[in-house]
Amino acid sequence: MDEQQQQQQEMKVKNSWHRPQIIVVTALIAVGIIIMVAIAVVQHKPLNQKYKYGIVLDAGSSHTSVYIYEWPAEKENNTGMVQQKHSCNVKGKGISSYSGTPHKAGESLKECMDEAKKTIPKHRHQETPVYLGATAGMRLLKMDDNTASEKVLKSVATSLQSYPFSYEGARIISGQEEGAFGWITVNYLSDNFRKASGTVGALDLGGASTQITFVSRQELESPDNSIDFRLYGNDYHLYTHSFLCYGKDQVLKLSLEKQIEPKLDMTDNIILEDPCFHPGYIVNKSFQSVFDSPCVKKINSFLGQQSFIHKGLGDWNKCHEAIKKVFNTTYCRYSRCSFNDIFQPPVEGRFGAFSAYFFVMNFLNLTTFNLEEAKKNLETYCTTSWDTLKQKHPKVKEKYLAEYCFSGTYIITLLEDGYRFTNETWENIDFIKKIGDSEAGWTLGYMLNLTNMIPAEAPDTPLLPYGGYVMLMLILSLLIFVFFILGYIFFRRPSGPTHKEII
């Protein structure tokens, strides 16, 4: 009887798996485990970072560059975290050179804008803003021929509107804007807006203009030289000025004009002995090549077709004196000026010098020397014969190679005699091309400022906040534990008659 009872009891235990209570509890446990695993997988999946894009075209006096920027869709302190993703240099000269054939200005942008279409994800095209900012070359064209400048801008606008991006305008930006946005770029890339150490000043040198911008602790006597920005929750009050016609290409014309002008009445061929060009340099040039700019005086068309002999002397000290003549320092209506009656407080703090500042000083290998050493090394360089120089740099275009002595001397003269940097403050100048992967210049600052007007997009976030996720997983774990206990109880409970009932 005992053996029979044992067998029956074992059968009852085995049959317990088929009881409805056990099936329900097992199903609940399985569902609970599945839910926990699913929530954990979704909660910890990698978040896809959403990016937005913007395109800024820098239409300078000598060339046009297209910059593509990207930034996270969510913004930090109302300013997007912008980084340079891609850049493209448009082939040919700047858009201002197409004043006679304005339709070609728009056509010149095609190759780089086609690259932009490929670089930016297609689903972002329609929301990607495109801005073209024209600088000093177009400022000069507007001064000289307003109708021609409008036709050029219309041409580039038509070209940009043909792309699937959000066209936001093509305009000539002011010199003050150019300087201020360059300042934003340098400080943004250096992460100075989030540091307690303060900001650095910006020195920008192009072909047709030059800008200086910095935060000054002194009262700014000229409202025209003051501009305010709010970035990352902080207000910045800047001194800035842009000198039109004082880019390295235009100031060369100014210098040549001052040397040629006393000789214009001469009937014989004019030989211009230029201390800023290398000994052995002899080139025939037309007067038109010097007097074709609003920065210099107009001459009659007949004289414009005539030529002069441009002969190099390679005398740095005389070159320095000749360049100083393009600065008017005889009159200042303020407590202090830089030159040409323009107010400027004393330079203070560190400065980043970029664009032509870097390219010229880097070529001359003068970026790491103090002021006196830079002068001595440049003096030696300028005395180098033209033939020796061409042999040493066979891949550099002769036009550019010939002008480095002048450009280097102009940079030193501008900084020392124009902006009043001294031997001591020269040490605070850093000549820079890039900071990180982004180029120094006004375009990134321009884009950074414009992102304040672009609506932020909600970022991807985890399914639950961390605290809620932990609490939910704890509750589910407790429920599953309870179901296990219930299952065990139901499993062990006999399903048939009890031992007493059998007896």
Buried b / exposed e over 214-236, threshold 16 CB at 10 Å, is bbbeeebeeeebbbebebeeeeb
Q: What is the pLDDT of residue 302?
A: 57
Instruction: Give the Å distances, CA to CA, from 462 to 76, 313, 379, 382.
Output: 19, 71, 64, 64
Evaluate whether residue 229 is within a structural domain: no
Tens digit of pLDDT for each residue in 118-138?
Answer: 999 999 999 999 999 999 999
Give me the phi and psi of 60, to 5 degrees please: -85, -175
Q: What is the pLDDT of residue 200?
A: 96
Tens digit of pLDDT for each residue in 308-331?
Answer: 999 999 999 999 999 999 999 999
Q: Is the pLDDT of residue 488 over 70?
A: no
Q: So which residues are the catalytic ones?
A: 178
Q: What percent of the chain has pLDDT over 90?
A: 63
Q: How does residue 114 score in pLDDT terms, banded at 50, 70 and 90?
A: very high
Tens digit of pLDDT for each residue in 416-464?
Answer: 999 999 999 999 999 999 988 889 999 988 887 776 644 444 444 555 5
Evaluate whether residue 147 is within a structural domain: no
Q: Is the pLDDT of residue 205 over 70?
A: yes
Q: Is the pLDDT of residue 189 over 50?
A: yes
Provide mean pLDDT across the span 147-166: 96
Q: Is the pLDDT of residue 208 over 90?
A: yes
Buried b / exposed e over 262-286, threshold 16 CB at 10 Å, is eeeeeeeebebebbbbbbbbeeeee
Q: Two tokens at 122?
A: 């297609």
Q: Is the pLDDT of residue 172 over 90?
A: yes
Provide mean pLDDT across the span 45-65: 84
Evaluate whether residue 358 is within a structural domain: yes
Q: What is the pLDDT of residue 454?
A: 43
Own/partner contacts of 296-301, CB < 8 Å, gap of 24 or more, are 296/253, 296/254, 296/257, 297/257, 297/261, 299/264
Q: How does residue 178 score in pLDDT terms, banded at 50, 70 and 90?
A: very high
Provide mean pLDDT across the span 161-174: 95
Q: What is the pLDDT of residue 402?
A: 97
Evaluate whether residue 274 is within a structural domain: yes
Q: How does residue 390 score in pLDDT terms, banded at 50, 70 and 90?
A: very high
378, with CB counted inside 10 A (0-12, 13-18, 19+), is: buried
Mean pLDDT value across the chain: 86
Provide mean pLDDT across the span 360-388: 96
Q: Is the pLDDT of residue 47 over 60?
A: no
Q: What is the pLDDT of residue 105?
A: 95
Give the C-alpha separation, 206 to 133, whole Å. Answer: 14
Structurally, how many domains does the chain consist of?
1
Q: Is the pLDDT of residue 66 over 60?
A: yes
SS (H, E, C) 7-67: HHHHHHHHHHHHCHHHHHHHHHHHHHHHHHHHHHHHHCCCCCCCEEEEEEEEECCCCEEEE
CATH number at residue 422: 3.30.420.150
Q: How does residue 73 score in pLDDT terms, banded at 50, 70 and 90?
A: confident
Q: With contact defined as beta carbons under 8 Å apart, do 60 and 137 qualify? A: yes
Q: What is the pLDDT of residue 250?
A: 96
Q: With contact defined as beta carbons under 8 Å apart, do 266 and 306 qualify? A: no
Tens digit of pLDDT for each residue in 281-310?
Answer: 999 998 889 998 999 988 766 565 688 999
Q: What is the pLDDT of residue 459?
A: 45
Span of 4-8, 95-99, 378-382 with lowest mean pLDDT: 4-8
Evaluate whether residue 260 is within a structural domain: yes
Evaluate whether residue 291 is within a structural domain: yes
Residue indicated by tokens 């001459």 = 299
How many alpha carbons lie under 13 Å from residue 279 in its C-beta half-sphere?
10
Domain with 405, as residue range(s), is 248-430
Q: How does residue 480 score in pLDDT terms, banded at 50, 70 and 90?
A: confident
Q: What is the pLDDT of residue 3?
A: 59
Evaluate whether residue 302 is within a structural domain: yes
Q: What is the pLDDT of residue 48?
A: 57
Evaluate whether residue 360 is within a structural domain: yes
Show binding-site residues for ATP: 207-211
Span of 189-193, 264-268, 383-387 with lowest mean pLDDT: 264-268
Q: How does residue 388 score in pLDDT terms, banded at 50, 70 and 90?
A: very high
Q: Is the pLDDT of residue 254 over 60?
A: yes
Q: Is the pLDDT of residue 271 over 60?
A: yes
